[in-house]
Amino acid sequence: PEETAAVLVKYGFNLEYRGLTKVKGKAPMKTFFLQPWKES
């Protein structure tokens, strides 16, 4: 997820850090909210 977030930010998406989330069968992961696109 962190790698995906970095790519999205690179392409202009606005992400907000959500925190660590428990994922079944995996270690807690950093998660992000995808914010609405802002028109310029």
pLDDT in tens, 1-40: 789 999 999 999 999 999 999 999 999 999 999 998 777 6
Helix (H) / strand (E) containing 4: helix 2-10
Give me the pLDDT at residue 40, please.
65
Q: Which of 14, 18, 13, 16 is nearest to 29 (CA)?
A: 18
Give me the pLDDT at residue 1, please.
75
Instruction: For the chain, give every domain's residue range.
Output: 2-34
Give me the pLDDT at residue 36, please.
86
pTM for the predicted model, two decimal places: 0.71
Q: Which of 9, 10, 7 is nearest to 35 (CA)?
A: 9
3-state secondary structure of 2: helix
Give me the pLDDT at residue 5, please.
93
For the chain, what is the total number of helices (H) and then of strands (E)?
1, 2
Give me the pLDDT at residue 37, please.
77
Instruction: Dihedral sign for Cα 28, 4, 37, 39, please.
Output: positive
